[in-house]
Structure formats: structure tokens, C-alpha cells
A and B are shown apart, each in its own frame.
Chain A
Amino acid sequence: MSQNHLEKTRGLRWGLVAFLLLIEFSLIGVGIKGSVTPSEVRNVDGYNPWSEKVIEAARDIPVQDGGRIKPLSTFARFQMLSYHGAVTMKIKSGGKKRKITPTEWLLDCIFRPELANELPIFRIDDSEVLHRYGIIPKDRRARLSFNDLLDDYGKGPGGKDRLLKGGKEISEKRSKEERERKSMTPNQIEAMEASEKEEEKEEKRKEKLIMEFAQQVLNYEAMTKFLDFGRIELDAPDFPDELFKDEGRDPEKFSTWISRWNQLRAIFIMSSQQGIAVPDEVESLAREIELNLNSSRYGVRWYPPYDEDENEWQSIGDRIITILEKQDFPWDTIDDEVKELEALNEGEVPERLKMAGFWKELMDDMATMEGLVEASEKPDSPEFLAALESWKDEATARAKVRGEGGEIEGEVKYYQRNYFMKALVFFLIAFIFSAIGWFGKEGRFGKGIQIAMISFFVLALIYLAWGILHRSLLMGRPPVGNLYDTIPFITLGATLVMGVAEWMTKRNLLVSLGSAIGVAGMFMAFRFEYGDATDHMDPLVAVLKSNYWLATHVVTVTLGYSGGLMACFLSMVYVHLRLAGVIEDDKKFRRFMTRAVFGIVCFTLLFSLVGTVLGGIWANDSWGRFWGWDPKENGALLIVLWSLIILHARLAGWMTDWGIHLCCIFFGSVVAFSWWHVNMLEVGLHSYGFIKGGSVIWLFYGACGAAFVVGVIGYLIDRNSKKAPKGE
């Protein structure tokens, strides 16, 4: 081809490269699209959004969840993700579209449960499993509200109850099967599994979904009912004055009867001893109290424990039970006794007085919660805002006394700043500018495009690095400690290296690739977080609690992953450019690409080898063996071996440019297997890293395979063109 012809068709050829890459990666897009739930916008009449001040007051209330103290907004985020699979819920109300954030949704659950029950919170991927309980949603992938389970789809009030009963029955059946399996011989198990028909396997899959969904419904109910004690009006009979001291307390309030619980209990004990039936109204009162006491044991854990030596925060129900267990306490005369004890024990705090203090605190807390619930009947009122702020201040002060909750403000800011979303947007803009730049680099326009591209790329890098740093400071440990952490870190490593390589080479290509990697990495981080619905800032298991090893082994091996992926993506670009003939006239550039990829393979080898061996040394310190052929270790070893194969095969003269690039495309699959797939095997000592599912990984393998085929075609064309006689 003449130089002139190449120049004329350059734009077209770049377009072809982009088209081919898009086709290959659309495979992953198609797979992801298939797992996305249709976002039907539900009409929820009468939904009034919470005021900004209320949201602000609520979001940094300290709560305990996942083994640490975190803001209510973070707790709400991961609760909403687990039910809804997203961090916003779209609804229509009064003809307007609204987006409900996790904090708003949790406020609805706590303070406006009737309204929360209307919201389409439950995501179900295979709603057909609910048909057997009379719940028949419109779509297979659907989002349902709690009320949908009660009447609409359930065709009557029993849908939810049937579902919960069904879930319980399946769970009991599974336990029985598990017990039976334990007493079977391997041959019997094998025969049983061999005789299992496809329909039975499918039924098992459905049963698992039902159990999980039923559990979600139960958890949700707990979240909406834990403050029910503040809403109820008890129908108390008129007891004789000598039985209960009239302290001017409201007999309709739950707290009043908790303070009288032991006397009430005494009525039952005496009746039983004397063989007299307890009056119906007393029995009904006791039943109602017990029901609400049980509900109040679940939901948000936002009360620090009484005892400073304890570390488990409680629900109001747990607090009540902790104190009522001390049944010999004369709770009705406690105030008098406290005064007496205080007078007798100057300065000393005996156990009895301590309990009395806890009791007083409990009574105050219950009154606070009852007041809060009462005020929430007018959610826009200044009274509600004041009550919420007052509780936040109280909980924060108590946490502070215990030396807890110091990172609450920082964590709220972390999520508000949304670093990774910003990085994604800036990487995307940088990529768009770089794509425009492919069609013309010359002149002022080209220069402008280049400046814009670099600026957005650098901005994205800053946000990404800042986000990782902020997370790391909040967690008080090095940046990588779990699978989620590896995604932004690997993205940062890859994009940073691409940026540095671009700065060294000024070829414009590497920054395009870096931006594409940045977009893909950030997208993957969101997908993983949303799919996993787990707070990855929660503390690590004991064996991982070593900042030294996290900072050395984990960071190094993760950089190795990042190198392998970079080599793969660069080689993907190379084979497409070659096939499209874009760089056929630029031998220097081709050489540069091959040398860059080769250099990155060396980088990968260095970091993978050091990281893998450091992992072995850590394992030797933790478990007493350097190498155990565990899947996670083997995965890292595969990367080392593949790097060594590439380097030695090149030295043996078995590989030219094409060979190196084809091997590096395969390298992407090796890294994906090591980084991701080994966790899905769910076997080995690294049980803390196990993950479920992950069909997207097969699509990534598919994309690598497609790029490999493109490379092979390119290689064959190139070989034939070299064989063809000159002048043809």
C-alpha cells in the first residue's frame, strides 16, 4: 500500500479499530445488561420527601454494624443495596419523579413504615419462584414493595405469610437432607446425585432463592417494626392502686409497663401458684408488651452498651432484657433505693447502684424514642428535627465517652464526595477527547484536544488516588485488604503506569488506553459493590490483621495483577491496530509497543514474584507453611509462570512480536483467573475471600478469546503479505 493511500484511509482504519474493540467488549456489556433489573418507576401517592435538615441530622447518627461503628447513612446504603441492588430508588409521586437515597429510605422504614411498605424495595431476579405463593409480579426480574407481597400480587393478605412459611419449610427440609447425607456412604451419595434429574436441580435452585428472599422479607419487617413500641397505645385494664404506684405515667405507653414488668409478671406467677385464671385483659396486655418487646430487639443497633467493658451495641429490646434479667430488683421503688444507696456509698459505685443507673438511662431512652416517634407523625415539624438532633447528640456523646465513632464525620464525607464516580466521569471524558484526537493530532485543534485529554486524565487520577487514600485513613489500614479494595487499587496502578509511559513516550495512545482502563475499573468497582452489597470497610478477620503484610504482600501482588492486565490491554490494541493496518507504515511505533509490553511483563514478573513469595512468608508466619498449593497461591504462581514463559520463550527465539502480543492477550485471562476466578472455587485456606457467581468473568475470557482470534488473523495476513512476491 502506498504511503498516500495509508494517509488517506487513516481515519477509516482507526474507526475500524474502535469498532472491533467495541464489538469485543460489548460482549461484557451484553452480559451485564442481562443482569440489570428493569427500572420501573413506581407511583407512590402521598410520598413527601424528607427535609434536607432531617437527612443531615440522621446521616451521622452512630450505629454498630458489621463489627464497627459507622454512620447511619453507611448502614442505610448497604441495607438498601442488599434489598434493592442500587443506592437510589426511583419513584413517582404527585406526578413528579423522585430519587430516594438510602438515608431517606431508612428514615421511612423507621419513622413512616406504612409509606416504606409502598416503596418497591425488593429486587428479585427470578420472580417466578414466588408464583407458588400466589405472588405474581409482572416481570421475571422485578422490584416489589412489601405491600405487593401482602395484597396486590398476593391476591389477598396471605402472600407474605405463605412465603415466610414456605421459606421455613424449605429451610427445615434442607437441614433434614443435610443430616441424612451425613449418615450416607459415598456410594449412596453418588447414586443419589446421579439419579437427580435436571428438574430437581432446578427446584433446588428455586428453593434457595425462596429461602433467601423470605429471609430478606423478615429482615425488612424487623427494620420497620423495631420502634413500634413507640407507636402502640396499650389497652390497659384498671389495676388497683395498691398494685401499681401511680407515678402520673401514661398507662397507654409501652415504657410505663416495662417499668412495671416484674409486678405484672408476679400476677402471672401468683395466679399460677393459686390456680386462678389471669383475667383476659391482663393476658392480652402482657401479650402485646411481649410482642413489641420482641420486635424492639432487632433493627438498628444504636445504643452503646451500659458496661464500659462490653463492646456490643444494643437495640432497645436487648437493653430491656439485660436489665429485666435481674428479676430480684424492686423496680417500682428504685428511685428511693438509689437515693439511699448514693447516701450510703460515698464515691463508690456498687453493682446495685450501677444497675439502677442503667435502669434510669433505659427509662430516659425509651421516653426519648417514644417522643421521637410521636414527633415523627409530623416529619416536617421542628419538633421532630429537634428530637432527632437531640438523639444524635446523645448517641454521639456516649460513643465519644467510649472512644468510638471518631471516623463518622469523615465517612459521611467520603460517601458524599463520591470520589470513584467522579473519577469514572473524568476518565470517560478523557477517553472521549482521546478518541477525537485519533482523527487529527495536528494544529491548534489537536493541541487543544490533547490538553483537555491530559487534564481530565490527571483529574481522574487525583480523584481515584484521593478516594483510595481517604478509605485507607478511615479503615486505619493499608489500601488493599479485600477483593473490592483491589479494584480501585489495580485501576490506579494501571492508569498511573499508562500516564507515566505516555509522559515518557508522548504517543497519545497510552493515555487513551489508560482512560479506557480507568472507566472499566471504576465501573467494575461499582458493579462489585452493588452486587456484593457488603460494606468493604468493615474490619478484617484476625489472620489478615497485619498492616505490615497488607502493605507489602497484598499491595505488591495487586500491582502484579495490574501489570498483567496492562500488558493484555496494550496487546489487544496492538493486534487491532495491526489488523486494521493503522501502524503498518510506522515500524518504530510497532517496536515501541512490543518493547513496552515486554517491559510491562518484566514489571509484572517482578511484582508478582515478590508479592507471591511475600504471601508465602506471611503464610509461614500465620499457618506454619510457606507453600500449600492453595488456589489463591496457585493463582499468583500462574501469573509468575506465564511471565517467565513469555520472557524465556522470547529468549529461546520462539516468539516474535506477534507471539508476544498473543501471549499477553492470554495473560489477561490468567490474571482474571488468579485475581477473581480462584475466589469463586470456594475451596482452600483463603476462605475470607470467597465470592459467589461471577458470570461476567466468562465474558471477559470471551473478550480475550475474541481479541486473540483477531490477533491470529492479523498474524496470518501479515505472514502471507510478507511471503507474497514484491510488487504485487
Chain B
Amino acid sequence: MSNSSPKSLGQKIWRVISGFEIAVVCLGLLFLLTFFGTIEQKWIGLYAVIQKYFDIDSFLVFPSRGDGKFIFLPLPGAYWVMVVLSINMFCGGLIRARKGWKTVGVLISHFAILFMLVAGAVSSVSKVEGQMSVYQGEKSDFAQKYHTTTIEVAKLDEEGHRLPPKIVPSESLRSLERNDVLRAEFPDEGFTMDITGMLGSSNLFMERTAERSNEDGPVVDGFFLREAEYNKDNELANMAGCYATVKDKEGNEIQELILWMGNPSPVSFVHNEQRYLVTLTMEIWPMPYEVELHKSVGEYYPGTRKASTFESTITKVANDQREDYKIFMNNPMRHGGFTLFQANWSDTGGKPFSGFAIVTNPSDKWPEYSLYVATVGLLIHFLLMLFRFAGGSSRSRKS
């Protein structure tokens, strides 16, 4: 970078924006955020930490201790620190930096790291993740999105078939807390639904067999919801639950429902002689192709419960085109912007089953490309430094 003294205000601002000082401060802040964001996972789990420290919506972070008390060290959200760092890197590491053969490596590596940060930003905004579960011999054309809770209300036709459901979207339910009330309108159907008592992790109890306390939710059809300890080690095991009161246009109660994510079958109500099915579920994510699972194999090392291999033989069916794939650990199937990974396997119940993690991410391969470029840049720069160092050492020994 040029060290000449700035003259105008604009130059001064430019110098600050592109200066090493901002880079060091941003890196220092990222260091602290990463450190606290690692430690705190022990107490609140990975997903909660990501939301607290690294999410785009996180502007100010108060790191806290295991007992939940804050450490008085407010820090800016990591996402926004990275935005500032990227701007600084662009201005200082690319535009303002000296251009010459001595700095070519630095320029290349700055460019590559910037590209990697952009990949991260794109990923955090547009990446979608979910899971598809298929039993051997069966097929599926949908997945369920992780960390999304939706309410599906489906009408049954005259023959009792489920029609495409109306959805209460996860965006509305995400910020809902236990004492909040959300009114979902279904004008075409002529009813509303008041959603209350939302719990991120809950258990469903039968009144007859469990003692109900003041903290528990109301009893509906002999059942009630009780808040459960949040499982931070296996976040997908947390079962959300809530109550829904269905009312007609005049505000008269039609039925009260208890919705629990772990419930294998939907609950139902009747309005105007029409039956509706209601489920609290992870958001359904239709796939552009169907997956037929022919063989699902899980093996453990002999005499242990240590997984040796999980493997699935599938056929992808899209527009009458059939393609066979073998998916196993470290060997996903990439097609049409979707990637399918072998995430888990089970044969409990006698029928083998494969759980596929599904991801769509426009910047899927960008970090890989930027790594190659960054490595070349850093190698050029550090090798030049090493030659200079070795030359210096040898000259100083001679002298």
C-alpha cells in the first residue's frame, strides 16, 4: 500500500477504509466471535450459536457463560464484520495495494479470499438444506427443510384423498414464543386458526398417565404438551408443539387442536361438513426428480457399533429419464443444482432405510475454486519471502 500522506478528506476516508488498521480490528473481532461462538456451543448448541453469532440478522452479540449470564463484552455480529472486512480487503488488498511482481501473490490470494467470503455470503442467503427419508424398495419426490416448522391444513376430497394443503409458513412461526398468539387466516375455507403455546422442544403426554403441572399446556382430547429440554447434541430430535384453536367467521370456536411434530398422523376437524387434516411438520420441499431406493446397505466393523459404510443404490427419475447412482459417505450425487448425501441409515423395524441430506447452494463449488487460487497466491508470495530470507541469512553468515 502507498504510504504517502493523505491530502483531502476523501483521501483520508479512503485511507481508513482501505487501511491495515480496519483489517486488524475486523480480524480481531472475528477471532473473539469465533472463540466465544465455539465455547458457547457447549451450553446452547450449534444451531442457537449460529443464529446468535453468525447469522445475517445478528447485529450485536453478547457472549454468555454456561449459566446464561452475559460476559460484558458486546461484539458486532460476525456476518457484518465479514462484510466490513470484505470491503476493506477489496479497497486495500486489491485496489490500493502496490502492483508489482513482489506483490502478485498477495493480490491473487486477496482476490481468492474475497471470492470465498462472497461464496459464504451467497450461501448464507440462498442455501437450502433438508432431508429425504426413503425405505428400501420405495420412492420419494420430496424432502423436508431443516429448522423450519410449518402447519399444513389439508382438505379431504369426497373420496377421502388429501388435497394440496394450505400452509402457515415457517417465517410466521419461527419467532413465535410460548405466550404469543398468531392468527392464521383461511378466507377461502371460512375459518381462522389461533396458534398459541408454541414450544421449540416438547413432549406430548396423556393426562391419564402423566401428572400435569402448572407449567404444562392445557389438556385437549386427553393430551397436553410439556416443554422439553432442548437437545443441543441432536437438534433434529427436538419436537416442536403448539395449540391451535379453529374459529369460524363469527369467531365461534369450532375445535381446539393439539399439534405435535412427533405425531405420526395428522389431527382433524370438521367445518361445514368438510374434513380437514392438520399437521405440524418440517416444511415440505418438492424435488425436481424422484428418487427410487433399490438397495440400502449399512455395515459396522465386526464386533463393534462403529459404522464402516452406509451405501444406497438409487435411480433418479426426471421427465421419464432414468439414471442409476450409488451414493455413499464422501460420494454424493450432484444433479440439477441439488446434491444428495448419504446422511444416515437404519434397519430397525426390519426394513432398511436411507436418510439423504439434500442441499441446494449456488455457491457450492466456489470455495473449492477460490482455494486453488489462494494456494497459488500464497505459495508465490511466501516462496519469494523464503528466498529473500535464505539469501539474507546466507549473506549475514558470510559477513
Contact = CB atoms under 8 A, between A and B. Distances in A.
A17 B34 CA distance: 36
Nearest to B358: A624
Of listed A504, A506, A549, residue having the most chain B CB within 10 A = A504
A648 B331 CA distance: 39
A668 to B, nearest CB: 15
A166 interface: no
Contacts of B341: 621-624
Interface in A99-142: none
Interface in B87-146: 116, 119-120, 123, 127, 129
A308 to B, nearest CB: 13
B9 interface: no
Contacts of B263: none
Given A613-B371, A614-B371, A683-B41, A64 B116 contact: no
Contacts of B236: none
Interface stretch (B157-165, B189-197, B242-250, B307-315): B307-315
Contacts of A627: 120, 123, 367
B306 to A, nearest CB: 6
B19 A185 contact: no
Interface in A694-716: none
Contact of B23 (A311, A505, A603, A648): A648
B40 to A, nearest CB: 10
B49 interface: yes
A651 B127 CA distance: 36
Contacts of B367: 613, 616-617, 620, 626-627
A603 B379 CA distance: 9
Interface stretch (A168-176, A200-208, A535-543): A535-543
Nearest to A653: B20
A634 B24 contact: no
A381 B374 CA distance: 69
A602 B228 contact: no
A186 B228 contact: yes
Contacts, number: 202
Contact of A188 (B41, B203, B215): B215
B27 A678 contact: no
Of listed A539, A678, A682, A683, residue having the most chain B CB within 10 A = A683
B35 interface: yes
Interface in B34-89: 34-35, 37-39, 41-42, 45-46, 49-50, 53-54
Contacts of B331: 621
B230 interface: yes
B346 interface: no
Contact of B306 (A539, A609, A625): A539
B82 to A, nearest CB: 11
Interface string B358-399: 110000100110110011001100100110011011101100
Contacts of B343: 623-624
Contacts of B23: 644, 648, 652
B30 interface: yes
A445 interface: no
Nearest to B232: A683
Given A504-B390, A609-B374, A645-B24, A631 B38 contact: yes
Contacts of B396: 588, 592
B341 to A, nearest CB: 5
A452 interface: no
A637 interface: yes
Given A618-B330, A620-B367, A638-B34, A183 B210 contact: yes
Contacts of A23: none
A65 interface: yes
Nearest to B329: A542
A542 B307 contact: yes
**Interface size bracket, B side:** 35 or more
Given A312-B302, A638-B31, A629 B49 contact: yes
A626 B38 contact: no
B233 interface: yes
Interface string A525-551: 000000000000011011101100100
Interface string A402-425: 000000000000000000000000
A684 B46 contact: yes
B50 A184 contact: no
A595 interface: yes
A673 B35 CA distance: 10
B329 A624 contact: no
B393 A505 contact: yes
A674 to B, nearest CB: 9
Nearest to A312: B302
A638 B203 CA distance: 39
B357 interface: yes
A617 B31 CA distance: 22
Contacts of A635: 38
Interface in A494-514: 504-506
Contact of A641 (B30, B49, B309): B30
A717 interface: no
Contact of A541 (B53, B203, B307, B332): B307
A189 B229 contact: yes
Contacts of A614: 371
A482 to B, nearest CB: 12
A602 B309 contact: no
A641 B27 contact: yes
B4 interface: no
Contacts of A459: none
A68 B301 contact: yes
Contact of A648 (B24, B35, B301, B359): B24
Interface in B281-313: 300-304, 306-310
Contact of B392 (A182, A184, A545, A595): A595
14 contacts: A183-B205, A538-B301, A596-B389, A599-B385, A617-B367, A623-B357, A628-B46, A634-B38, A652-B20, A681-B39, A681-B41, A683-B42, A683-B46, A684-B41
The 8 closest A-B pairs by CB, nearest first: A67-B301, A652-B20, A624-B359, A312-B302, A542-B307, A634-B38, A613-B371, A311-B302
Given A538-B301, A625-B127, 16 more contacts: A66-B304, A181-B229, A184-B229, A185-B216, A185-B228, A546-B329, A603-B382, A606-B375, A628-B46, A634-B34, A634-B35, A635-B38, A638-B35, A649-B24, A678-B38, A683-B45
